[in-house]
Each structure stands twice: as C-alpha cells, then as structure tokens.
Structure 1
Amino acid sequence: MPWLTQLADVAQRTGCPVVEVTGWRTRGHGPQPEVRGIVCHHTAGWADMHIVRDGWPGLDGPLSHFWLRRDGTIYVVAAGRCWHNAPSTSPDHDNSSSIGIEAENDGRAPWPAVQLAAFKALCAELCREFGLTAAAVKGHKEVNRQKVDPHSIDMTAFRAEVARLMKGEPAMATAKETWQHELKVPFGTPENPSWQAGNILVNVAKWSLEQRTTLATLGAKLDALMVANRELAAALAAHHAEIDPHALIARIEAAIEGITIRLDVPDTPAGT
C-alpha cells in the first residue's frame, strides 16, 4: 500500500476542524503496508502533538497518524507507518496493519463531548475509506495487554456509535457522556469557565434545596408573627373596650400580605 496521502481528505469528511501538520505526507517509518484496523489511544499528556510527531528518546516519531486535540480538532501527522502499537495481540492492529489515533488526554480527565464526537466520526470515515466494519476499531487496551488507553471509554458502545455514523445515523451520546458534557456557565471564572453538565445539575439541586429551606424558615417566622399579632390584638382589646380585635387583626394581616418580600440570591453560593 502506498503512503496514505488521502488521510487529510478523510479527516475533512468528518466536518471537524482539520490541521495538516507540515510534512505529514512524507512522514513515517516507510509507507503503510496495509490497513486492516484502527487503534484508539490517549496521549497521557496535554499539548503533546509534537511528541506524536517527533517521538521521544529511544522511540522516534511519528507515533501515530493522527493527533486529536481536546477541542475536537483533527491533526494529520503522518501518511506512513507509525510506531503506535507494539507488541499487539491482534495481527490486524499492529504497526504494519493499522492506523493510530492519539487523542489528547492525560489519562484521568473527563472526555469533552466535542472530542469524543470527533473521535467517533474520524473512525467512521476511516472505516469507510478502507472498507472496514466498525468491529475493526479497537482501543489500545484491547490489543495490547500492557495498556489502559483510551481511559474510561467503553469500546463496545464506542463501536456501536461508529457503526451508527457509518449508516448515516446521528451519533447518540451515552448517559456518561451527557453527564460529563461541559457547558459555559454565567457564574464561571476565567480559570474555570465551563462546568460539566452533571456538576451543574447537582449544584442546581443543592441551590434549590437551600432556597426551599430558606423559604420554609421564612414561612415559619411569618406564622409565628401572625400568632403574636393575634395575641397582641386580644391583649389590647382587653384593656381598651373600644378596640375591635377582629378588625385590628384583619388590618394587620392585610398589611403583612401587602409586603413584597425580595430574596437576594448570590450568583455563586459560598463553598461552590
């Protein structure tokens, strides 16, 4: 098989942003002999495209054909063979028979929904290009017993989504992906402008509970105030025959009902 110079075009078909790394068309440890599988990795670091491209002491780059940035941007790194999976437990997923995708992640951080969507879309387009089924997509941890990447991704569910995309059906986010999806929030900070959907839901529930507690406390105080007003009206009537206690109570209650209560709720509760 010649150098895989069509990889940029394949990446473009995903609809994701694509960056062609300078020199990618001639970068590799010789041409790619064949493509029978796709191996999904995480990089175990951040901003590490240069490592995928250049390698590290003792292992020359390129280490994978693609680098997938956290924001879903696809970087085309190499068109030739890459040192991304050896030893392999599958003859269809070693360096000479498979394409590697390195996704930017330190191996602990939650996966952004946009990055996972790009991951699946790229796998789907590669399968189409090379006549593979979704079953050809494997996690590094599935074809190399020494590896754990891509961390926390259920590869069976991942392949099911790749198969859906290959059929032209929209991908469906898993419950976990939805829970971990990040959204910009008005109460965010420059250091932490986005919150996971799960965190937002949990915090909204907590804030709602706090407000219900506050309202219940105010309601109890109001009830106590009404009782005290009735007692006061009765005491005044006992000393002043001309006072109608029922009329006085009605007047006080009407005044209380006419009061507008404003609750000042901070944008970000303390301790959040």
Structure 2
Amino acid sequence: MANPLSAAAVLAALRAEDVRVVEVGNWRTHNRNQKGAWGPINGSIVHHTVTKGTAATVRIVRDGYSSLPGPLCHGMIAKDGRVHLVGWGRTNHAGGGDPKVLDQVTAESYGTRPTPPTHGNSDGVDGNARFYGWECQNLGDGKDPWPAAQYDAIVRVQAALCRAHKWSAKSVIGHLEWSSDKVDPRGFSMTTLRSDVAERLKHPASWSPGKTTPTPPKETPVSTTDDRVKALHTNLLSIGEIGTTAKGTPSGRVEHGAGYYLAHILNEVRQLRADVAALKKEA
C-alpha cells in the first residue's frame, strides 16, 4: 500500500528501466479523479486490449467509448515495445474485483498466484482506486502473438513500479486474477511474468539480460468452454446493469460501458465458435 507516484516520478522510473516511453497529449492531468479516489495504491494490473493497430488502440485507451470515458489505463504497451502514457490518476481500467485478492496482493501473501476471484465488476471492490493499469495491444484470442519486444516492455514497466514502491513481483496481477468475469491477459502466464519481474528486480534498473530480447513463454491454457460461457453470460448481464447501481456495489465505482462489454463478448463468441469447430473435427 502506497501513495501513487507522481507523473514525473513514474516517467523517471520507466526511463531508468530503459522503457521506450511515448507521452500522449496531456497525459499527466488526464484522469477520472472527479469520479472517485485514486490511492492508496496496492499494485499493478496487466490487461489486453482486444484491438489491433497501434494508433487506433492509443486513441481508444485515451479517449474511451461513448459509454465509457477515458482514460482506460495509465499506459498502453504496443507490439513494438513502446509504452504510450495516456493518463495519470484514476482511470477506468480495473472495475470491481475480489476483496480477498486485494488483501493478498496488499500483503503479498499468496503463493504462485492469488486465490481465484469469486467477485467481479458488478459486485466487487473498486479497483480503479487501488491499482495502476496497463493495457497491452493484443486481440486476446490466444492466437495473436506477443512479440518479444512487447513482452520485455511489460516486464520492465512492472519492475519499474515495483522498484519505485519497494514492492515484490507479487504486487503485479492480471485482470483475470482480479475479477471473476475477466480473461485477460490471454497468451502468456502471469506466474511466469511475475518470475521474470522478480528476476529483473535482483539487478539494477539498467540491467539487460543479453543482446536479444527474451521470448514470452506460451501460456498453458486455463480457460475452458465453461469458463468462456460464464464470462459471456456475465458480460451480457453487465450490459443490462449499465445505468443502475448493483446491489452491494461500493460507492464511487465506475461501471464499464456497453462498448467495453461488447468487445469482450465478441472475443468470447469467437472462442466458443473455435471450440465448436474443434469438437466437430474430432467427431
């Protein structure tokens, strides 16, 4: 638990870690602070965008959707490894999540991964106040590759935050580890990412593991068809709840807009179609 870094401090921390930073417009003052608290900060969440094209992705995460104002994260990590800073302060990236996961991340008390979440956006605690958020450009279908330069940048960004706050790598989680209705990031293992962040923290910020950039390890698939049906159902219900206050929802939580859920619904439908096609082929 810590006070959020200032914009100047996070910029210095990222550059010390040799992160290639792109400052987008008025990112230092672009935020949703008028909608609720930002801080104390307990950790950092990694996401995938379900988009393609760097320019279009930067625009989306900075400006948001018609039903969900931006910024949707603090920085977007592109395929080429550049980190586009789009906002600083409260952003609409984490939504509701599991309180026991928050406790485990705050205390850094879990094993290889936090307890699987049982709360999500509609009934969880406010994650926008408590986490840094990093969107990573990827379709999130389990097939879109994670270039080595991008994965290396993800590791460096998370290490920079942990180093600045004197956190361990256990302060870094994926959105799927925070919220029961999320599946991102898909395509690499958060357990392995934390291991790589931990290794980096053993060395000075300027450390480089070699002349070549490490290749991200392939993730062991964890999402089943049942998981995808559950996520699809939850996102459909969430659209119906837009504009209402769900029972038990903490005050100050900003709901995601329809565009956000529709993007994830499209992704889940694609995955379900692939499951059906695979079953037909086996038959």
Give the structure-1-normalised TM-score: 0.61
The alignment status of 1:99 with 2:132, answered yes or no, reads yes
Q: Matches of 1:36 and 1:62 in 2, distance apart?
A: 20
The alignment status of 1:40 with 2:73, answered yes or no, reads no
Q: How does 1:47-196 map to 2 (within 5 A)?
A: 47=54, 48-89=57-98, 90-91=101-102, 94-108=127-141, 109-168=144-203, 173=214, 176=217
For each residue in 1:28-57, what CA deviation from the matched residue of structure 2 results, as whole angstroms up to 9, or x when unmatched? 111732221100001110221111111102
Q: CA deviation at 1:165?
A: 0.4
Matched with 2:14 is: 11
Q: CA deviation at 1:174?
A: 6.1
Instruction: Give the residue type in structure 1 aligned to 2:177.
Output: E
Structure 1 portions without partners, runs of 5+? 178-272
Structure 2 portions without partners, runs of 5+? 107-125, 219-283
Q: CA deviation at 1:131?
A: 2.3
- Residues 176 and 128 (structure 1 numbering): CA distance in 2 closer, same or farther, change over 3 Å? closer
Superposition RMSD on alpha carbons, in Å? 2.1
Confirm or deny: 8 A CA contact 1:17 1:74 kept in the other structure: yes
Aligned residues: 177
- Residues 101 and 128 (structure 1 numbering): CA distance in 2 closer, same or farther, change over 3 Å? same
Q: Larger Rg: 1 or 2?
A: 1
Matched with 1:227 is: none
What secondary structure does 1:145 align onto?
Answer: coil
The alignment status of 1:24 with 2:27, answered yes or no, reads yes
Confirm or deny: 8 A CA contact 1:38 1:138 kept in the other structure: yes
- Residues 10 and 43 (structure 1 numbering): CA distance in 2 closer, same or farther, change over 3 Å? same
Confirm or deny: 8 A CA contact 1:87 1:94 kept in the other structure: yes
For each residue in 1:116-170, what CA deviation from the matched residue of structure 2 results, as whole angstroms up to 9, or x when unmatched? 0000011001111122110010011111111111112111111010000011175
Q: How does 1:231-246 map to 2 (within 5 A)?
A: none
Q: CA deviation at 1:176?
A: 3.6
Identity of aligned residues (%): 33
- Residues 122 and 70 (structure 1 numbering): CA distance in 2 closer, same or farther, change over 3 Å? same
Higher RCO (C-alpha 8 Å, min separation 6): 2
Instruction: Give the residue type in structure 1 aligned to 2:93.
Output: H
Stretches (4+) displaced over 6 A: none
Q: Bigger shift: 74-83 or 84-93?
A: 84-93
Instruction: Give the residue type in structure 2 aligned to 1:116.
Output: Y
